[in-house]
Structures are given as C-alpha cells and as structure tokens.
Chain A
Amino acid sequence: MSDTDILEEEMGAAPPEGPDGPGTVGSRALGGLARILGAVALPVAAFVVLYLTFEWLRNADANRGLIVLVAVVVGVVGVFALYWGMDSVVNVLPERMREGVRPWVFVGPALVILGIFLAYPAINTIYLSFLDGKGDAFVGLENYGFVFTNEATMRSIRNTLAWIIVVPGIAVSIGLGFAVMADKLRRGEAVAKSIIFLPMAISFVGASVVWGYIYDFKVFGNQTGLLNGIWTGLGNDPVSWLAQTPWNNLFLMVIMIWMQTGFAMVILSAAIKAVPEELLEAARIDGANELQVFWRVVLPSIMSTMVVVTTTMVITVLKVFDIVFVMTNGESGTEVIAEQMIRWFFRNNHDGRGAAIAVILFLAIIPVMVVNVRRFRAEEEIR
C-alpha cells in the first residue's frame, strides 16, 4: 500500500518548466508547413504501411498462431518504429527548423488518434442525433422527442437513475466498512482483500456466467441456481428471478456491486492507511471511542477520496451495458441507457435515435467528470 503513497507524492509535485527555450523558427511559412507534415502526414504514412501489412495478414492463409504472432510484433514494434522514423526525418531537416518541429512529432500521433477516434466521433454523433434513421434527412429534435416519450427508453432512464444511486451507494458503503474492519485485522488482511477484489479481474460477460449459477431457474426437477436451491429448500415454488419486474433490476445491480466493491475497498483502504496515526491517537487520548474516531476523524480525512471513488463508479455504472445485454437482453423491464442505445444502433438500425441516446449519456457524464477531475486536481495540490 505504501507504493501508492509514493506514487501519489511523486505525482503531486508541480512539473518544472522544460529546459529549452521556444524553437528558433526562421521562415514561418516553411516551418508551419513542416509542422503540418510532422504532425499529420508522417503518422498517416506510417498508418498506411501498417495497414498494408494487415491487408496481407488478413488474406494470408497461414497458421493462426503465426498470424497472431506477426500481428503482435507489427503492432508493438510498429508504433515505436513510427516515432523513431519521424524523429530521424526531423534530424534531416534544416537545423533551425528542427526544434520547432520536433514537439509535434512527439505530440502529433496522439493528437491525430484523438482527433479521429474521439473528437470526430463525438461531433458526428451529435450531428447524427438530428438526422433520421438512415442519416439522410434533418429531423430537428424529433429523436430527442422520441427518447423522452417512448416507454422503453423512459424506463431505461429511470432504471439507470436507480443504478447510479444503488450501486455506488452500496458498493462504497461495503467497501468502506470492509476497509475499516480489515485494517484492524492482525492477520489475513491481504487474503480478505484479495477475495473482495478478485471480481474486478473478471469480464462482465464472465460475471454473467458466474451469476447464472445463482439466479438459474428450472421449471422441473432439481434447481441448479443457488437462490432457487435455497428458496425451494424452504418449501416454496421455484421463481424465475430475472423475470420479476421490478426486482430483477436489483438482482442485476447485485452483480455490479459484486464487481465494483473491490475497487472502492482498495482505494479507500489506501486512503485510511494514509490518515496520520498521531491524529487518531490524539482523538483517543481525548476520550473518543472507536466509533467517534471513525466518524469525526477518519471519515473527514478521506472525504475527497470518497468523492473520487463515487463519481468514478457513477460513470462506470452510467455506461453499464454488458451485464444487462448478456443476462436479460434488456427484457422484463431491465432496460438501461447504454443497452437501449446499442439496441437502436444495431438491432433497430435507427442511428438517429441511437445517437440521441448517446448524446444524453454524454451530457449526463460531463458534470460528474468535471467534479471528478476538479477533486482529483485539488487533491494533488494538497499532497
């Protein structure tokens, strides 16, 4: 856990200014042109070379293992060779231009990728949300009107609201409680934490299979799902848990809580251990009992970490898709926003409505993210 503290400390220091002054660019026009070349043309050229390799790979009828090996080597070596090649090109340029162009060689590829893969799609999705299903005609706010009047999408918004209240609430509470209690253990703290943390390493699809053995329902014969095993053992008739609207939403949330509690627990545990021992000791000497120490000293000290953990989890939950998609396919009233969006994009082939839902998701994330980054920065400045 001390590693974490070290890293945080190291990250906290303000970055000193770079050593070299602004590049001495003689001819502005030429320099500008070279910059554009460095930032755009070269990455694109390298990309085309990579793509041609791929074209060959895709059509080659070789052994799968070999193809995979070549793909990995090309991907891993290719990206480094790209930078090396660009840097070599810069070294050939007239000396006075070099230092003006070089930063763009370092930053350029990141900007090109972000431009193509995040900025452009975001703008295009906003644009698509004002078009009809095929993306041909402008329809104004019709798609948004549909989202806020359609029964299924409205239910998905209500369900997602329930998700972002219930999941972070319970996961953070259990994570915090567990972190506090595990801190008091003499032995076995690492083992106990690993058990809680383990589901973090499992995919959502894997988790759905895991929980199938809890929620399974059989009309006839012995039950294979644990919940029905217990339920029928108590003398009741078996229940199809995932069809019980609205409680099935809760059953799906349990899976998410199972996966996310470890995340909250680990980060909060690091924060609790960072609370100075003298502070706790002082409170105890002043006669505070353990409960008061927790509420009055520990909790206020870790408040900003709590906010970061909660907001991060809210964003994860806002985007929940896989669990619902695999477990119930959004049926029996379990729709969520991201699942509805995929449904309109890929099943009902109405890009305009899908895009409108995506924009709503985006708008919901912005305020949470702003709070998150602000807190994160504030915390760094304190350290």
Chain B
Amino acid sequence: MTAHRATVVPPAKQEPGFWSRLADRLPVKLSIIAVCVLWIVPTLGLLISSFRTKAIVESEGWWTFFTKPLEFGQWTLDHYTTVLDARGFGNAFLNSLAVSIPATVIPITVAAFAAYAFSWMEFRGRHVVFVTVVGLLVVPLQMALIPLLRLYTSGEFFGIGTPFPHPLNGTYMAVWLAHTGFGLPLAVYLLRNYIGSLPSSIIESARIDGATHFQIFTRLIVPLSVPALAAFAIFQFLWVWNDFLVALVFLGGTPDVQVLTQALAELRGQFGQFEHLLPAAAFITMALPLAVFFALQRYFVRGLTAGSVKG
C-alpha cells in the first residue's frame, strides 16, 4: 500500500526519512501493542494457571511465573486429567458435540430449503410469509423459555393438552429444536439473500432439462451456496457450543447429559473446593471453539459480517 501511495504523491513531497517515519509510526505501534497486551493478559493468566500445581495456584498469583519460569516443580498436567475423568468433562465434551452438531445442521438445512422456496418457487403469500419469518428476529430467546419448558414437560399449548410428545426436556432433541427455532429467522434471512442472488439462468436451464426442484436444490443450490452455508454454520456452531442458558433450561443439570458450559458453571459454583481445576476446565471448554476459530477464521469473519442483524 505504501509503494502504491508513493507513486501518487507529487514529487514535491519527498518520502520522509527513517527517523521521522519511525516517529510517525511509533505511537500507532505502541498503542496497538498496548491494547493487544491488555487483551491477551486474562487468557494468559488462565493458561499459566492451568499448568501449575494446586499448592502454587492457591498460594501465589499466576504472574509469579515470570520470575521463575524454569522451576519445573511448579508444572503439572494433573488438572487436565482430573477434570476430564473425575469431573466428567470428557462426558460433557461428548454431550456438547451431540448438542452442537445437529443444532447447527438442522437449522441450516431447514433454512436453506425455505430460502430456496422463497427465492425460486411461486406460491401465494410468499412475500408475506417471508416478511413474517424475518419479523420474528425481534423475539428474544428469553421470551420463549417458560412456554417452551411447559410444552416440553406437559405437551400443553396455552394450558391445553395436545398430542405433542412429552416429556421432551432433558433430551438432546429438546435443545436442537429450541436452537433451531432461535436461529432460523436469521438463517432464512441471510440464506434467502444469498440463494436469491444466484443467476436465474442456471436454474431455468436446469428446469428446462427436466430437473425437479429437489434435484436443483441438492445438486445446484447447495454446492453454489457453500460460502454462505459455511459462514452461518460456523456462527451457529460457536453460538450453540458456548450457550449456557438454553442448555441449562432444557437439558437440566443431570451429569449424564450436561454440556461443557454447564459442567464448568457447576465446577465454578463449588468455589474453593475445585478452584485449582477451573483453569484446565475452562481451557477444555475453549479448545474446540478456538480450533474452529483459527482454522476457519476467514469464514467466521464473513459470517459475522453477514450476520450483523442477529437478534
């Protein structure tokens, strides 16, 4: 960028010398470094604490590490093994996967089919229905908790019994469906924008060749929409994986189904007793989202940029 600018700047303004350039850039560099340090310090403290022995974690601040990084007596991996086995985080990790993967795939599938119909199929009330779906963006998920919990436990709509299968709370499915409902308006909105902007010529020629809507959707639309689908998938996955409230309400606290965020909150609740295990536990909950985040950062950023209206 600098080289490009140099060609445009008129010759009267010579490129400044080394020292004045440094003076120009130093404040910028220093402020960036300062902000980065501030932002990384909390996580760094956690990382260091997760590898130090119980006695040291409880008696010293984590920053004392910097005065004696080579005292190997302070290091241990025990916290990670204890948390995974004895405190059930291995199990909770599996549960988080069982909740997050379908709770990501289901809303995307449902939304993609709906988005296709809203874009490329003719039916009466299409526009009204679409606007209504997007309008549901304003409903905060907190509003849905109690009615849904009643529906799940007793199958009642407005206090009237229905054949809705119950009890559903405490199952993975209860959480999948809730997350699907909460994620759908945004997913339909974004995917409809993307799928609707695909060139109509492709779809028309496929129709002329005798392809059904279902074939067009699976063979043409899905492959062409991979960027948008991936962006939303990452966004939804991180949201579901990191969710605490929905899991707390619909999954309940029983150890066999609880997810990582619940296990961590519980461990934290018994403060004092397991304090030394918290850093390792927290890192286990962060491991997968951080891996997803670093591997797919480009898509994630895109998902966020596209998803700036998430309610």
Residues of chain A having any CB pair with chain B under 8 Å: 1, 3-4, 7-8, 10-23, 47-48, 50-51, 54, 58, 64-65, 67-68, 71-72, 74-76, 79-80, 83-84, 87, 91, 100, 102-104, 106-107, 109-111, 113-114, 116-122, 124-125, 127-128, 135, 174, 177-178, 181-182, 184-186, 192, 194-206, 208-214, 221-226, 229, 258, 261, 263, 266-267, 270, 277, 281, 284-285, 308-309, 312, 315, 318-319, 321-322, 326, 338, 341-342, 345-346, 351, 354-355, 358-359, 361-362, 365-366, 369-370, 372-373, 376, 380
Contacts and interface: CB of A to CB of B under 8 A. Distances in A.
A312 B304 CA distance: 11
A369 B286 contact: no
A223 B61 contact: yes
A109 to B, nearest CB: 5
Contacts of A74: 102
Contact of A270 (B190, B200, B305): B305
B310 A312 contact: yes
Given A22-B124, A121-B144, A211-B42, A109 B302 contact: no
B290 A113 contact: no
Contact of A65 (B94, B117, B190, B217): B94
Contacts of B41: 214, 226
A380 B305 CA distance: 12
Given A79-B109, A122-B143, A199 B245 contact: no
A322 B261 CA distance: 10
Interface on chain B toward A: helix, strand, loop, or mixed SS?
helix
B302 A54 contact: no
Contact of B289 (A128, A202, A358): A202
A196 B143 contact: no
B244 A174 contact: no
A114 B181 contact: yes
23 contacts: A3-B227, A3-B298, A3-B301, A4-B302, A7-B227, A76-B102, A80-B109, A91-B212, A106-B113, A106-B116, A110-B184, A116-B177, A121-B148, A178-B35, A185-B32, A196-B36, A224-B62, A258-B39, A267-B308, A315-B311, A319-B141, A341-B142, A373-B137
A23 B145 contact: no
Contact of B42 (A186, A194, A258, A373): A258
Contact of A181 (B31, B59, B184, B281): B31
A345 B176 contact: no
Interface in B139-190: 139-148, 151, 157-159, 165, 168, 170-173, 176-178, 180-182, 184-185, 188, 190
- Closest 9 A/B residue pairs (Cβ): A117-B181, A15-B196, A75-B102, A203-B242, A121-B144, A106-B117, A110-B114, A103-B123, A121-B147
B119 interface: yes
Contact of A18 (B42, B121, B308): B121
Contacts of B173: 50-51, 54, 75
B285 interface: yes
Chain A facing B: main interface SS: helix
Contacts of A200: 238, 293
Contacts of B144: 117-118, 121-122, 125
Nearest to B207: A19
Contacts of A186: 2
Contact of A128 (B146, B244, B285, B304): B146
Interface in B182-205: 182, 184-185, 188, 190, 192-197, 200, 203-204
Q: What range describes how many residues of B lie at the interface?
A: 35 or more
A128 B147 contact: yes
B84 to A, nearest CB: 13
B146 A205 contact: no
Contact of A110 (B110, B141, B158, B170): B110
Contacts of B213: 87, 102, 106
B142 A319 contact: yes
A135 B159 contact: yes
A326 B268 contact: yes
B136 interface: yes
B49 interface: yes
Contacts of B197: 10-15
A267 B303 CA distance: 10
Given A22-B122, A113-B177, A125-B143, A7 B228 contact: yes
A102 B126 CA distance: 13
B231 interface: yes
B306 A7 contact: yes
B311 A225 contact: no
Contacts of A354: 146
A23 to B, nearest CB: 7
Contacts of B311: 315, 365, 369
A226 B63 contact: yes
Nearest to B241: A203
A76 B60 contact: no
B91 interface: yes
A111 to B, nearest CB: 7
A359 B157 CA distance: 19
Contacts of A285: 10
Given A116-B151, A125-B144, A214-B42, A68 B98 contact: yes
A68 B101 CA distance: 10
B180 A359 contact: no
A125 to B, nearest CB: 5
Contact of B120 (A19, A109, A258): A19
Interface string B266-298: 001000000000110110011001101110011
